Every structure is written in structure tokens, then in C-alpha cells.
Amino acid sequence: QVQLVESGGGLVQPGGSLRLSCVASGLIFRVYTMGWYRQAPGMQRELVALITSGNNTNYADSVKGRFTISRDNVKNTVVLQMNSLKSEDTAAYSCNAHSNRLDFWGQGTQVTVSS
């Protein structure tokens, strides 16, 4: 079965950095658009960044210039490098794999930005 396993979340001070990783298995990783989404308490889930099978990227305006998404089709991994973190980046971050009408989600990893 398809599994997406995230890691790398945690507590960081404002201005700090975190690197989230998502390892996928059970799917043909290279054909999927991979994305990171986040959901803060009481808020709707929102797209943070995505990367297509052709390595095109898209970012939420709120993270442009601070976050970078990348993928490794050999290791079946998608990485979200998060720099200059702000308190408003605090949320549960989830990995998504999308292709045609298929969507798969990881369990999520918590990111907390606080002094």
C-alpha cells in the first residue's frame, strides 16, 4: 500500500530553520506531483508548496523566498526547507502525493515556531 512518512518537525525559534522530509513508498513516485500542506488550529488546510513530476514548483505567497521544495526521484523523497520561520508558520505539516484522481496523504508532522 501507499505510505507517505514525514519527519523533521519540531520546535524552533523565530528566524530559525527546519527541514521536513517525506519518504514515499508503494507508488511510482516520479509521476506524482508532491506537495506540502499545513493546517493551524481552527484554520483550513492550505497549500504550502508543490513540485510537479517535471520539477515545476509553486509556493504560497506567505512562504515565497523563505521555503524551498525539492524532490529526489531515486530516494522517493520530497523535502521542504524552511528558513526565516515565523510564528505564523506554526501548524501541522502534511505531505501529499497527487496524480490524476489519486491523492495520498501522510500522517503529518508538527512545526512550532516560538521563542
Give me the residues paired with residue 93 across strands: 38, 109
Residue pair 97/52 in contact (Cβ under 8 Å)? The answer is: no
In the block, cell 519527519 appears at 7
Q: Give the amino acid at 18.
A: L
pLDDT of 42 above 90: yes
Residue 68 grid cell: 524551498
Residue 18 grid cell: 527546519
Which residue, among 27, 23, 8, 107, has the nearest Cα to 67 in the 3D structure?
8
pLDDT bucket at 101, cuts 50 / 70 / 90: confident
pLDDT of 100 above 90: no
